[in-house]
Amino acid sequence: MSSARIPVAIIGSGNIGTDLMIKILRNSDLLEVAAMVGIDPSSDGLARAERLGVPTTAEGIDGLLALPDFKKIRIAFDATSAGAHKVHDARLRDHGVRVIDLTPAALGPFVIPVVNFSEHAETPNLNMVTCGGQATIPIVHAVASVAPVYYAEIVAAISSKSAGPGTRANIDEFTETTSRAIVEVGGAARGKAIIVLNPAEPPLIMRDTIYCFVPPDADTQAIAGAVESRVAEVRRYVPGYRLKQQVQFEHFGEDNRQNIPGLGWSTGIKVAVFLEVEGAGHYLPAFAGNLDIMTSAALTVAERIAQAQLAAEGVEK
């Protein structure tokens, strides 16, 4: 292993874990994949890792801890399930390994790279919320930076072909976790999340819709500018992240009040933002932007951690 890179482990040899591995191997000069961990010896992820010279184990967390170079690993990505993550986190913390959680378990704080990474840079477990959260919460936060957001609702529509067993098993956790993060990270007073699995053929690229209800005197020009700036920030690590059209505003006055959760019948402005997230196609198809944004965000967080660790050791990158 190169001393100029931080060794990492990927737990979960499914779509997300495999895409993350390919991204690191192709694009990162800060991280080195020291282990690919799965529980299915016949998985494509483990087979690809072996062909690429990455140490592998099909024995799950026990196999990872038993690897000869395990003590060198400093960061572990968990791309399994919310239930499994609780076990993995407890075992890894005993060894001082930083954990980046790509499940909806939310044992650690929610982290969106462009919103709040610096607040949690030293936290041992960082949760990447959900794919819908990574795509939409930056927008809610952008709106909340210039106007109070009384209520925010997001709808994440993904191709059913991009929803593997892990995603389907975590649907309830997805909605609960994302709804919490809309409030805790996005800054909305109330939040709601909806996920739609679209069976259309050919498969559709991930689409996200964000609705925010703000006061009637909110500065719509400032809101539009904040949203556009935030989209540009996210595009730095997710190139396929883009607005589908200009930010939309609908005004509600005394004669057409809206029934807003927590507020009742209210006047205000409904802000509507429509996004598309196209994947980079590293391992997953381009329509699977929902998975690509998760691995891209997790990689960004890990690289920031690695950069700080290398700087502390006097290694410049």
Binding residues for NAD(+): 13-16, 162-170, 290
Q: What are phi and psi of 224, to 5 degrees?
A: -60, -40
List, in order, residues 6 or more apart from 118 with CB less than 8 Å away: none
- How far is 284 from 291, CA to CA, in rounded Å? 8
- Which of these is catalytic: 131, 144, 206, 212? 131
Residue 131 appears among annotated catalytic residues: yes
Residue type, 5: R
HEC letters along 30-70: CEEEEEEECCCCCCHHHHHHHHCCCCEECCHHHHHHHCCCH
**Strand runs (DSSP E) across the chain, as ranges?**
6-11, 31-37, 56-57, 75-78, 98-101, 125-127, 151-159, 191-198, 206-214, 241-243, 248-252, 258-260, 264-266, 268-277
DSSP code at position 244: S
Strand 264-266 relative to strand 56-57: parallel, antiparallel, unpaired?
unpaired
User: At residue 180, what is the residue type?
Assistant: R
CA distance 175 to 167: 11
Which segments are annotated as binding site?
Answer: 13-16, 162-170, 290
Cα–Cα distance for residue pair 29/191, rounded to 1 Å: 38
Site of tokens 């209520």: 151
Query: Is residue 117 exposed (0-12), middle (13-18) or buried (19+ Cβ within 10 Å)?
Result: middle
SS3 content of the chain, % helix, strand, coil (to 5): 40, 25, 35
What residues act catalytically?
131
